[in-house]
Structure 1
Amino acid sequence: MDQLHKYRYCRVRRSLHWLSALVIIWAIVTGFSLAFFSLSPAVERWLGHFNVTLTLLFIPFFLLRLTLACIQKKPETLELSRRQLWLAACGHWLIYATVLTVLVSGVCMMERPVSVFALAQLDPLFKAGEVTRAFSVAHHYSCALLALLVLGHIAAVIVHQRRGIRLMQKML
């Protein structure tokens, strides 16, 4: 293994990280836009349908990312203390758990069939009612938590970069 690979994630993990970042940030921004802003009914319908479809297609990519995080060793970060590394690991696993909660609750809260870009149709797992409402509540709270965790993650990277600890280079 050459020195560069010792301090960087593999190409697959880097690609999955940036795919995750794009999908998650898109879903957070548009989801909060749907929740807190007055949009035209056509835009609301399109965003709602697109987000559900996009995140359904994202699930297998996220599961691959989670699997690789479990089985592959992280690249070394010599500039961080053991405590900082432990906190970073806890933060990452909290993000993974929250993304998983968002995805599972999103599927379980569905009350009608969803067309996945006209390629397939996913039927609801539960009849509309108390169970789907409970998953909807869990979904909304986990989305809010995920937004906070993503902001914290980005802030931590910026702080470390400004201190000369080049964490971004692990993912580039």
Structure 2
Amino acid sequence: MTKLFTHIRILTVLFIIVLVLSGVTVFPIQTELKLAVDANIFEDGSTIQLWLAKVLNGVENTKKEYPFLFYGFDWLAFAHIMIAVLFIGVYQHPVRNRWIIDWAIITCICIIPLAFICGSMRGIPFFHILIDCSFGVVGLIVLLIIQNRTSKLKKYRAKEKTNRS
């Protein structure tokens, strides 16, 4: 049982860390994009390189003309961090808080249609939509493992309780 509980906790901490990182990386978006474009990681004229340059240009122009729009980025970061805080409940009591895992699984599944619908409406390139979907898919895999381990832990605890009676 201890090994199962530890495994759930390790995966939950990993999930929390990734959520926080994906949130806080929103704050320096202009710096990150500039580094990516200036690093010349991608071949000149490649779809990815051209997309990054276009996004950087959009961010720079928006920051100069409409900096208040970045307030939405601040709220996006805040939401990621607060969702990560929610998972402290899973870390502490995974069986009692399995509803959080179920909610997060639904959320990860919903990322896919959101990315395709809104990404297409906003003119986001297909490769970038797939990158966004990958966050949902990877999160879903981790969460399904946590859910599976939590179900086993619940059964083990119920069996233990029955044996004590």
| TM-score, length of structure 1 as denominator length | 0.36
Q: Which structure is richer in relative contact order (CA contacts within 8 A, separation 6 or more)?
A: 2
- Rg larger for: 2
| TM-score, length of structure 2 as denominator length | 0.37
More helix by share: 2
